[in-house]
Structure 1
Amino acid sequence: MLSYGKADVRNASHLALSNPLSKCAESTSSDLATSKLHTIIDALAFRARSIPDQTAFVHLVDGEVIEQAITYRELWSRSQSIAAYLKAFEPNGKRAVLLLDTGIEYVSWLFGLFHAGMTIIPAFPPIGSRGLSRLALICADAQPDIIVADARFSNARERLNDLLPSAMPQPYWVETTIPTGGPDCTGVGPARDDIALLQYTSGSTSTPKGVILTHANLVSNCENASLWMGDIRGRVGCTWLPPYHDMGLMGGILQPVYDGFSTLLINPGHFIQKPFRWLSAVSRYKVTVTIAPNFALDLCTDGISDAERSTLDLRHVRAIYCGAEPVRSRTIERFTDRFAAAGLDPATIGPCYGLAEATVLVAGKPVDKPFVSFHVDREMLSRGTIQVVDENAPGACPLVSSGRPAAGVEILIVDPLELQIVPEGRIGEIWVKGDNVGTGYWRNAVASSETFGGTLPEVDGQFLRTGDLGALLEGELIVTGRLKDLIIVSGRNLYPQDIELTVEETDSRIRPNGCVAVALDDGERERIAIVAEIKRSEKLDDVAQELLRRSLTAAIVAAYGVKPEHIHLATPGTIPRTTSGKVRRRAVRDALLAGNFAQYGGRTRAPVPADRSAS
């Protein structure tokens, strides 16, 4: 049977002496230039030849001390065994849902499916009825031939089949325990232009769509990211991001194999349960590069005790790439101030921007440079212009740059209505072109044309219309929000992320990243509604809740000159989110209008009237 060896239990002091990642990469990615690299499997084959005994991945099974490790030689061998086993399915061109948790098994099957020439559909594990419903939506759209799952998830087979369209052939479920060896897999494998992934979008604004990514797209993204990340020598990675998410998959698994460095894997749930586990692992394994969305920095700042912090050594960290959601200046300041005593250099924080439609990477902070932020005039921002002002000027608000365009990527800022390139400092839709941009959405020609077919007079080629708003200023990309999320009140553009930050900073009883602002449009005007989650440690009676609403209203009026017409207080976990943690604003709006939002204290609010305010 395919086995992964016995995981060793080590205490922290032993780990420091026998770190399996201590032999880190000493070569540079340029050694791939002389090889015939067409797919990510070619990169794995190259690593298996050039650094066969180097550790590729270490999985902290319990999030702390129990390890499972695999070398590049072993990963190549296991991917071959899996590909050989899959030959019975005549796999070339067929589609496979990968339904596994983070770990060595996930990585092995990922490369085994690639090796077999299959199109992989990374999927969120079907935990609960909501997770199962989402998986059914993905399967109904992708129509996979097989589903790769272990015993934990194979029990969901019948329930999933019941949710699929009756006319759809039921996918075959493949158990992950397979015989080793098997028939020779020579001749099995993908070509550069074959579809590698159907990366389903998070569904924050609509039903999930499958982005078509070829092996050429994956290689292009790895090439761009390798140049962006700089010198490979001594690099050790760490990721707790879900592997079914584009940033977790590309940055946490494929990039390490492309560049040939060792990476530590932590299950997302282990991090969420105890954020200290992430920074503790970074410290103990002397990690140099890692990834974290904005909310993760807040969790660490607020959730790691002084005693835990005193055990950390973060002096060797060279980069913490921060993306997947808006990056806040205040979050970075709090995080770097909090962990300065552990040796963290503020220059390690690397805001970046990307999306699944572009494989992942579009822009990022150059390596070894401090992140850039601007203080801008809030009133001018509402009028669509980035005007830099002194940080102490009235109405000044901070905006963090997402860095500069990655190598091989072209960015335009375009007026989404007039379809004209706007001047520097003017906000418009972000358009992207590059070899990392996918070819469209799976079986959705209309959406593909709208999103991937952006053209402008006298500009060569087609561009990806990201649906994100931003501006270019001094070569820096500043992302201001989503086009569909924009709230327009009395001719002014209000960005929900700014309002949410104001709410959180107004009162410490609001849970970090626990606020959402949406527009309720009655056909004549847009009204602002806010949902704010109260920390579990707080106990507010009716009087305290009303005073809090008044305080939040006053803060928003003072900052933006508009009054929210509905403030809904809720318990933690109430706000609906995507599998990657992004707020599902449409679902928030619909729940408010339908009266389906549970109120803080256990009651359910009446629906918000569509034609007038509700307090």
Structure 2
Amino acid sequence: MIETSRVTSAELVGEPIGPLAYPSLPSLLIRAAAMPDAGQIVHIDPNGEIERYSYSDLLDDARRILSGLRFNGIKELDRVVLQIREPRDLLATFWACQLGGMVPVPASANPPANSGLSSKGLLESVLKIADTDWSITNVDTVRLDRLETEFAISSPSEPAALLLTSGSTGLPKAVTLTHHNIVSRCEGTARARDLTKRNRTFNWMPLDHVGGLVMFHIRDVFLACHQVHADMQWVLEDPLRWLDVISEHRCDTTWASNFAFGLVVGRRADVRQRSWDLTQLKYIMNGGEPVKPRVAQQFLDVLAPFGIPQTAIHPGWGMSETSSGVVDIVFAPGPIGEFERFTPLGRPHPGVRVRVVDESGTMLDERELGRLQVAGDPVSSGYFGNDRQNKLSFTSDGWFKTGDLAFIADGQLTVTGRVHDIIESDGVAFYGHEIEAAVEELQFVEPSFTVACLVAAELTIVYCPRSRGAEAAEADEIRRHVLKLFGLTVKEVRAMEKSYIPKTGIGKLKRAQLALQLEHSPDAMDLCVLQAIRLKGRPMLHDVVAAIAADADTVIAALVARGLCGEADGRYSVTAAGRDRLTDLLGQERTRIDQSRILNLYKSFDGYNTELKQIITDWQLTDGLAPNSHEDKQYDAAVILRLEDLHATSLPLLGEFVDLVPRLHPYIVRLDAALTRIHAGDHRWLAGPLIDSFHTVWFELHEELIGLAGRTRAGEAKAGRAV
């Protein structure tokens, strides 16, 4: 298909979308179910087991669930949070909501461990964000035998779904997408890429994410084509499974972020043992992160023996707020030199407009770098219940401010990076993702976990080493490599475990959140390490690493050398000089914090703290007198349920503390980790004294908050507020 769009200054306008034959989501499924030659829906579970069913089966599933939703009193336009583990059940319930005119709010049943949110905690947060009491976690509670026969007639302008997008502390916002937003995106991408019911697609993004749900599943219902879905963790456990599925199921359309290309390239030896046929693979949507041309070319080279077309990769751009990808282009392999730093992303799909403006909102000319804005049929009208964010995110004439930097040249859009991801040297601007790609060229660096960011206006590199023991030499090599390629001096290099490097549900690095964790003070690591040692008594190195979510050996060695820490038998303690240093650092920290806000938050925390004291007492004693033998499983389960409720309801408050004091974020991760172990049946992690149990971590967090609020442990104990 010939791509057409007109260009006026730094603006690109896709062709008009025109009237939609099927303007609402229910009509898409009803149409697909009635087509005898429609494709199938295939799910591959985390064990590799396969389930197949038809669009007609999906419609019948949805009709049974709709009967149950209505029986339970859920009405048109009611918002319903869907936190459902089984993908078929999730899709069926999503479509039940569509048929009933309800507004589904998909939420992950398995949030990333480093998000600081348990599944129950996320559910509680989303219920508040969506301002609803309705949630479905077990479809069997709403699935009836009766097939509902009456369906709602939804207006194209009515909300079809609220989709979650993460904030800086991991607490999400809800993007409102209407029926017109979603269907017009399906129409536009089908036209732009000549997609039909003959296509066969493979998706491994979560189905609660805009990529898995809208960019793949709903688009494929629109096409009535064959669609295959797999669990993301199943693919990441062995990235070659991605290509196994494509070859076996003859898929021609799929998705990958750059990190997936890198994982395949890193398995060259294993790739040679495969016997894939990739000749049919025409459309690999490449988005979610800035494109790395060198890695993309290596990916094509490694797979060339299997017949992959050299035009298969399509770099693109999109967001939850644009109903997923709305710009893309065929990747053009070639030499990557000084003036080819960024890969063009092409023209907007039908119904989409993009423009580049300066900081005041004035349109720029071609080839001028500025701020990317987008408007058009697939673009959301805003975030649900968040007027403040909507005023910040949209212009008075309805353009969405994406937060990306871009330029337009030769009728094509090129996105260079995020507004807050610029690192300068001698007047030359580089982007964090450029530096990260260069660092990952080094053999000892684990791909897709590198972050380059500014901390206290100094360049910091965080990386995940392939093995431990050589971090000092590796840091020197990283510094030399970055200086040679970019002329940049790296102030600090930190090795971190994968689990502490925050990512979104589809594997995108959360650079802003990590920068918050790293803090803005040059003395931040001294503070974090000294405080962790003080609170833990005489910890070993691995205890400190777990407490601060960062590599600590070089910092501790420096503290020992300065006489601020002592070491005996591998255990560390804070010396008198160290206590003085810590007191000074904590005092400096308090001067930077809004004390009235911290006091108000601390007063709110007191209620949760009192509740936890009672939970711990009830866990240790029955009837407040006899030691708990833990033989009464029902009693213990009730106490654990109270702990889960406390954790879920306190998370938004803890997120506000993290907003004020970013170094507190690891406490959220540690509380969630303890709760995960409790769920797994190891109840030592509720109140065990010598491990990072929930009680231990809460105690340490409370100690932090006491100091931040300008109070003392003795005073709080006297007032009855100590845990």
The interval holding the TM-score normalised by the smaller chain is 0.7 to 0.9
Matched, 1:41 2:29: no
Matched, 1:438 2:425: no
Of 342, 349, 358, the residue aligned with 1:399 is 342
1:252 Cα deviation after fit: 2.0
Mapped partners of 1:47, 1:604: distance in 2: 62
Mapped partners of 2:348, 2:509: distance in 1: 26
Partner of 1:337: 301
Of 307, 331, 342, the residue aligned with 1:371 is 331
Specify the code of the residue in structure 2 equivalent to 1:293.
Answer: S
Aligned 8 A contact 1:81 1:181 in 2:
yes
1:181 Cα deviation after fit: 1.1
User: Residue 342 of structure 2: SS of its match in structure 1?
Assistant: strand
Partner of 2:459: 528
Partner of 2:475: 549
CA-to-partner distance for each residue in 1:150-182, whole Å, 9 max, x for gaps?
A: 3xxxxxxxxxxxxxxxxxxxxxxx645622215
Aligned 8 A contact 2:198 2:226 in 1:
no
Number of residue pairs matched by the alignment: 515
Distance 1:144 1:489, change over 3 A: farther
Which runs of structure 2 are paired with 1:485-500 in the superposition (5 Å)?
485-488=421-424, 491-500=427-436
1:33 Cα deviation after fit: 9.8
Distance 1:233 1:577, change over 3 A: closer
Mapped partners of 1:336, 1:284: distance in 2: 19
1:591 Cα deviation after fit: 2.1
Mapped partners of 2:19, 2:30: distance in 1: 14
Aligned 8 A contact 2:83 2:123 in 1:
no
Mapped partners of 1:305, 1:546: distance in 2: 30
Specify the code of the residue in structure 2 equivalent to 1:180.
Answer: D
Specify the code of the residue in structure 2 equivalent to 1:45.
Answer: I
Greater C-alpha radius of gyration: 2
Partner of 1:50: 35
Partner of 2:356: 413
Partner of 2:50: 67
Partner of 2:186: 222
1:562 Cα deviation after fit: 2.4
Specify the code of the residue in structure 2 equivalent to 1:70.
Answer: Y
1:373 Cα deviation after fit: 6.8
Specify the code of the residue in structure 2 equivalent to 1:362.
Answer: V
1:476 Cα deviation after fit: 1.9
1:305 Cα deviation after fit: 4.4
1:598 Cα deviation after fit: 2.1
Mapped partners of 1:464, 1:276: distance in 2: 38
Mapped partners of 1:309, 1:239: distance in 2: 24
**TM-score, with normalisation over the residues of structure 2?**
0.67
Specify the code of the residue in structure 1 equivalent to 2:304.
Answer: A
CA-to-partner distance for each residue in 1:354-390, whole Å, 9 max, x for gaps?
A: 001111122111xxxx414787xxxxxxxxxxxxxxx
Mapped partners of 1:61, 1:489: distance in 2: 48
Mapped partners of 2:169, 2:195: distance in 1: 38
Mapped partners of 1:451, 1:209: distance in 2: 12
Specify the code of the residue in structure 2 equivalent to 1:514.
Answer: F
Specify the code of the residue in structure 2 equivalent to 1:90.
Answer: I
User: Residue 209 of structure 1: SS of its match in structure 2?
Assistant: strand
1:531 Cα deviation after fit: 0.5
Matched, 1:598 2:560: no
Mapped partners of 2:175, 2:131: distance in 1: 14
Distance 1:511 1:78, change over 3 A: same
Specify the code of the residue in structure 1 equivalent to 2:331.
Answer: F
Mapped partners of 1:334, 1:289: distance in 2: 20
Matched, 1:118 2:102: yes
Aligned 8 A contact 1:55 1:69 in 2:
no
Of 134, 137, 143, the residue aligned with 1:178 is 143
1:492 Cα deviation after fit: 4.2
Give the stretch that moved more between structures: 37-46 or 204-213: 204-213
Matched, 1:190 2:132: no
Partner of 1:540: 469
Specify the code of the residue in structure 1 equivalent to 2:301.
Answer: D
1:579 Cα deviation after fit: 2.2
1:341 Cα deviation after fit: 0.9
Matched, 1:84 2:67: yes
Mapped partners of 1:337, 1:498: distance in 2: 21
**Structure showing the higher helix proportion among its residues:** 2
Distance 1:108 1:359, change over 3 A: same
Distance 1:277 1:549, change over 3 A: same
Of 195, 199, 203, the residue aligned with 1:239 is 203
Aligned 8 A contact 2:210 2:320 in 1:
yes
1:307 Cα deviation after fit: 5.8
Mapped partners of 1:246, 1:588: distance in 2: 23
Mapped partners of 1:446, 1:570: distance in 2: 35
Give the stretch that moved more between structures: 112-121 or 135-144: 135-144
Mapped partners of 1:604, 1:252: distance in 2: 49
1:314 Cα deviation after fit: 0.5
Mapped partners of 1:62, 1:475: distance in 2: 43
Partner of 1:424: 366
Q: CA RMSD in A?
A: 2.8
CA-to-partner distance for each residue in 1:291-340, whole Å, 9 max, x for gaps?
A: 11111121222246436652211111111111112221012111111111
Aligned 8 A contact 1:322 1:352 in 2:
yes
Partner of 2:258: 294
**Structure showing the higher strand proportion among its residues:** 1
Aligned 8 A contact 1:441 1:448 in 2:
yes
Matched, 1:96 2:80: yes
Aligned 8 A contact 1:83 1:185 in 2:
no
Aligned 8 A contact 1:204 1:585 in 2:
no
Aligned 8 A contact 1:97 1:121 in 2:
yes
Aligned residues with identical type, % of pairs: 24
Partner of 1:569: 495
Matched, 1:479 2:415: yes
1:231 Cα deviation after fit: 4.3
Distance 1:301 1:82, change over 3 A: same
Mapped partners of 1:67, 1:549: distance in 2: 45
Mapped partners of 2:312, 2:556: distance in 1: 44
Unaligned runs of 5+ in 2: 1-16, 526-547, 560-581, 590-723
Distance 1:558 1:248, change over 3 A: same
Mapped partners of 2:149, 2:555: distance in 1: 60
Partner of 1:271: 235
1:273 Cα deviation after fit: 1.1
1:121 Cα deviation after fit: 0.9
Aligned 8 A contact 1:102 1:242 in 2:
no
User: Residue 346 of structure 1: SS of its match in structure 2?
Assistant: coil
Unaligned runs of 5+ in 1: 1-31, 151-173, 376-390, 456-460
1:462 Cα deviation after fit: 2.0
Mapped partners of 1:46, 1:85: distance in 2: 23
Partner of 2:225: 261
Aligned 8 A contact 1:41 1:114 in 2:
yes
Mapped partners of 2:297, 2:21: distance in 1: 44
Of 118, 136, 143, the residue aligned with 1:131 is 118
User: Residue 311 of structure 2: SS of its match in structure 1?
Assistant: helix
Aligned 8 A contact 2:189 2:326 in 1:
no
CA-to-partner distance for each residue in 1:414-446, whole Å, 9 max, x for gaps?
A: 11x232222212211111110111111111112
CA-to-partner distance for each residue in 1:162-214, whole Å, 9 max, x for gaps?
A: xxxxxxxxxxxx645622215x4414353222211111113358742111111
User: Residue 420 of structure 2: SS of its match in structure 1?
Assistant: helix
Partner of 2:575: none
1:403 Cα deviation after fit: 2.2
1:515 Cα deviation after fit: 0.7
Distance 1:33 1:466, change over 3 A: closer
CA-to-partner distance for each residue in 1:245-266, whole Å, 9 max, x for gaps?
A: 1111112210000011010111
Matched, 1:145 2:120: no
